[in-house]
A and B are shown apart, each in its own frame.
Chain A
Amino acid sequence: MTDTTVSTPVTATGLEPALEPASSSRAQKRKARKKAAKDPKRKITWDRVWAQRALLAMSVPLLMYQILFKYVPVYGWAIAFQRYKPGRGSIWNQQWVGLQNFHNLFTGVNGERFRQVVVNTMGQSVLTLIVGTFGAIVLALLLNEVKNLPFKRILQNITYMPHFLSWVIVASLASVALSLPSSGGFINQGLMSLHLVDHPVLFLTQPNYFWEIVAGTNLWKELGWNTILYLAAITAIDPGLYEAAEVDGAGRYRKMFSITLPSIKPTIVVLLIINSGWILSTNFELPYFLGNGLVSEKSETIDVFVLRYGYQLGNYSLAVVAGIFKTIVAVILVGSANLAAKRLNQETLV
C-alpha cells in the first residue's frame, strides 16, 4: 500500500509507450523476436535451466511474492457473490447469494447512488485532466520563453515542489485556503479585497464547487510536474525551424503557435490518451479528505465509496462489487488507451 507508483504521476507510468523507439525499429524487433523464438539456442532445456540456477534463485521467490501480493488477492472477489459477515470468519464460511449484490449496486436500492458515484468519478477526472493538460501546456510554453536560465530553473524548482507533498498535506493546505478569512482562508480574503464577493464563500460546503475544487487542487499540486514531459518535447524541436521562421520574420507568438505547439502535439495527444485510461482510478485522496456530509452527492468517488461502505461500514460485499467494476473497467480503458497510444505513436512520433 506504500504505493510508490501513486506518488509518481500517472504521466510517468504512461511515459514508457510515449517515448518508445520509432516504428521501424519496433518492426525489426518483432522480426528479431520471431527469429529468436525459433532459435534452438533460446529453447528452454534442462541444461539451460541448470546453468541459470543462480538467476532463477534470485528471481523465482520474488515472482512468487508478486503473485501472492498482487494476483492472489483476487480470491477476495468471491465475497461479491456472498452475504459477507466478518463475524463468520473465513470467506469459505459465508452464505452464497449469487448476483444479488450486483443487482443491489447497479439497479437496486443502491443503483441511483452508485450511478452518481460513477458520474462523480468521471466528472472529477475529466475536469482534472482537461484543466491539468491545458495548464501544463501553457506553463511549458511560457517557461520555454524565459531566456534567463537561472531564473527559469528557480521557477521550475518552485513549481515542481508541491508534487512531492503528500495528499494529506495538500488537502490540509487546501482546506485552510478555502476556509473563512478568520481561519486563514486567503482565497476568500483575496476575493473580498477584489470585491468579487461581498460575503466569504464556504466553498467546502457547496456541492456545486466540489469538482472545481478537486481540479484546482490537483492543478496546484501537479502543474509544474506535468510540464516536464512537454518541456522535454520542446527541447527536442530542431532549432533550425526557429531560425528559418526568424528569417521569414516570425515573431514570438508566431513561433509559439506555428512551431512549438504543432511540434509537441503528438506528445499532447499521446499523454491525453494514456491519462484518460485512468479515468476511474484517479481522485481518491482529495474527495476522501475534503468531502463531507454536505457535499457527498458531488464528492463521493468509487474509491471513497469502497472505503466508506466496505471498510468503515462493514458492507464488504457491496464494496467489492464496486471494486470489481472499477478494476475491470480500468483494465479495459488503460489497455485500450495504451494500445491506441502505441498505434498513434507509430504514425506521429517517428
Chain B
Amino acid sequence: MSLTTVAKPLARRASRGGSRRRKRTVEQIIFTTLNTTFLLALAALMIYPLLNTLAISLNDGNDAVRGGIGIWPRVFSLQNYNVVFNMTTIYQAFFMSVLKTVVVVATNLFFTSMLAYVLSRNEFIFRRSITLIFVLTLYFDAGLIPNYLLIRDLGMLNSFQAYWVPTIISAFNLIVLRTYMKSIPDEIIESARTDGAGDFRMWWQIVMPLCKPALAVVGLFVAVGSWNSWLDTLLYNSGDQALSTLQYELQKLLASSMNAGMNSVAATGNAQSGGQVTTPIALRSTITMVAAVPILFVYPFLQKHFVSGLVIGSVKG
C-alpha cells in the first residue's frame, strides 16, 4: 500500500520526464536544422557576390555581357587578367598600392610602438597629458578641406610623402600597443635597466621582441587600412597618374559605370589595351578581384589574430 503510493508519483514523474526529454529532443532537432539552414544561407549570401565576381572575371568578356553567370565561368578565359595586367595604369597602380602599404606599415609600426613604449612607462612625467592629446584625436577631426589645405601648404600635394607622412601615428593602435606593453612584467624591464640599458635600447631590444604578437595584429590592420584607402589618392595625389592606387582606379571605374548605367541599361563600349579587348563588366570584375585578392590572402593570418587584437584593445589600462 505505502509502497505503491510512493512508487506511483515517482513512476509518473519518470514517464513525464521521459516524454519531456523526447519532446525536447524533437524540438532540438528542428531548431538545429532550421538554425543550420539559416546560417548556411547567410554564409552563402556573404560569399556569393565574391564568387560571382570571380566567375565573371574568369569568363570571356563578350560572353559575360549576356549575363546569367553564377559562381562558375561559362566560357573560361584568362583574357581579362591578361588585359588588366597589360594596362599600364592598373599595373602601376598595383605596385604603388603595394609600395604605399609597405611604407605605411613600416613607419606606422616604428613610430607608434616607440611612442607606445614611452607612454607605457609609469615614471614618465608627461605620460597623462601626452596620452590625452593623442586620444582626443580619435574624436576630433578638423575636416576634409582643412586637412587638404595643410597638405597643400606643406607642399606635399602629388608626392609620395602625402601617403605616409600624415599617418605615422594612429591613436587607436597607440592605445592598443601601450596596453600590451604595460602587461610586460616589471622584472624584465628592471633587470635590463640594471644591466645598463637606456630607454631607446630597452624599447628596441627588450620590449619590441616581446610585443611581436601585438605588432603582428596592429601591422595587419594598418596594412589592410592602407591597402583599402582611396580618399588620400583622390584628395592629395590625383594629379599624378604615377601615384595612383588600385582602389582609386577601381573607384574611377565604378564612378564611370554608375554614370553610364544611369543613361543606358548596361555600359557599352570596350576597354582596350594593346590590341586586346574586353568589356566593362568583365574589366570591373577583374580589377575588383585584383584589389580583393591580397586581402583574402592575408585574411587567414588576420582572423587568427583579430579577436585577440580586439581583446587587447578593449582591456584599457
**Stretch of B78-86, B161-169, B180-188 that contacts chain A:** B161-169
Asked if A241 is at the interface of the complex by the 8 Å CB criterion, the answer is: no
Segment 208-224 of B: residues with Cβ below 8 Å from A: 221-222, 224
| Contact A184:B46 (CB < 8 A) given known A5-B172, A59-B126 | no
Q: Is the CB of B167 within 8 A of A2?
A: yes
Residue ID in chain B nearest A322 by CB atoms: B143
Q: Is the CB of B139 within 8 A of A330?
A: yes
* Total residues of chain B contacting the partner, CB 8 A: 118
- The docked-state distance in angstroms from the alpha carbon of A104 to that of B232 is 29
**Stretch of A11-19, A107-115, A207-215 that contacts chain B:** A11-19
Residue ID in chain B nearest A231 by CB atoms: B307
Shortest distance between the CB of A350 and any CB in chain B (Å): 17
Shortest distance between the CB of A268 and any CB in chain B (Å): 16
Q: Is the CB of A173 within 8 A of B199?
A: no
- The docked-state distance in angstroms from the alpha carbon of A91 to that of B295 is 41
- The docked-state distance in angstroms from the alpha carbon of A72 to that of B288 is 37
| Contact A54:B199 (CB < 8 A) given known A16-B175, A59-B126, A70-B142 | yes
Interface string of B125-136 (1 = CB under 8 A from A): 110001001100
Asked if B92 is at the interface of the complex by the 8 Å CB criterion, the answer is: no
Interface string of A118-153 (1 = CB under 8 A from B): 000000000000000000000100110110000100
Q: Is the CB of B53 within 8 A of A176?
A: yes
**Stretch of B4-12, B256-264, B270-278 that contacts chain A:** B256-264
Complex contacts, B236 vs chain A, CB 8 Å: 1
Which of A7, A166, A327 has the most chain B CB atoms closer than 10 A to its own CB? Answer: A166
Shortest distance between the CB of A326 and any CB in chain B (Å): 7
Asked if B241 is at the interface of the complex by the 8 Å CB criterion, the answer is: no
Main secondary structure of the interface of A (DSSP, over half): helix
Asked if B50 is at the interface of the complex by the 8 Å CB criterion, the answer is: yes
| Contact A292:B228 (CB < 8 A) given known A1-B147, A73-B142 | no
Asked if A66 is at the interface of the complex by the 8 Å CB criterion, the answer is: yes
Asked if A290 is at the interface of the complex by the 8 Å CB criterion, the answer is: yes
- The docked-state distance in angstroms from the alpha carbon of A13 to that of B259 is 35
- The docked-state distance in angstroms from the alpha carbon of A324 to that of B281 is 40
* Total residues of chain A contacting the partner, CB 8 A: 110
Determine which of B38, B153, B221, B315 lies in contact with A8 in the assembled complex, contact meaning CB atoms within 8 Å: B221
Asked if A106 is at the interface of the complex by the 8 Å CB criterion, the answer is: no
| Contact A70:B140 (CB < 8 A) given known A4-B225, A182-B66, A311-B145 | yes
Asked if B313 is at the interface of the complex by the 8 Å CB criterion, the answer is: yes
Interface string of B194-208 (1 = CB under 8 A from A): 000011100100000
Q: Is the CB of A306 within 8 A of B265?
A: no
Shortest distance between the CB of B16 and any CB in chain A (Å): 10
Residue ID in chain A nearest B27 by CB atoms: A251
Q: Is the CB of A54 within 8 A of B313?
A: no
- The docked-state distance in angstroms from the alpha carbon of A302 to that of B29 is 50
Asked if A31 is at the interface of the complex by the 8 Å CB criterion, the answer is: no
Residue ID in chain B nearest A145 by CB atoms: B35
Residue ID in chain A nearest B40 by CB atoms: A155
Asked if B303 is at the interface of the complex by the 8 Å CB criterion, the answer is: yes
Complex contacts, A335 vs chain B, CB 8 Å: 139
Asked if A28 is at the interface of the complex by the 8 Å CB criterion, the answer is: no
Interface string of A290-328 (1 = CB under 8 A from B): 101110000000010011001100001001100110110
Determine which of A19, A65, A204 lies in contact with B168 in the assembled complex, contact meaning CB atoms within 8 Å: A65
Segment 114-132 of B: residues with Cβ below 8 Å from A: 114-115, 117-119, 121, 123-126, 130
| Contact A184:B56 (CB < 8 A) given known A4-B170, A55-B121, A62-B115 | yes
Q: Considering the complex of A and B, which 7 residue pairs feature the smallest CB-CB distances, nearest first?
A: A76-B146, A323-B143, A166-B228, A1-B232, A54-B199, A73-B142, A4-B225
Please name 10 pairs of A and B residues whose Cβ atoms are closer than 8 Å in the assembled complex, sorted by A.
A15-B310, A20-B316, A76-B143, A158-B43, A158-B47, A161-B46, A173-B288, A220-B46, A224-B46, A320-B146
- Chain B residues at the A interface, C-beta cutoff of 8 Å: 20, 24, 27-28, 31-32, 35-36, 38-39, 42-43, 45-50, 52-53, 56, 64-69, 100, 104, 108, 111, 114-115, 117-119, 121, 123-126, 130, 133-134, 137-150, 153, 163-164, 166-173, 175, 198-200, 203, 221-222, 224-232, 235-236, 247, 250-251, 254-255, 257-259, 261-262, 265-266, 281, 284-285, 288, 291-292, 295-296, 299, 302-303, 306-307, 310-311, 313-316
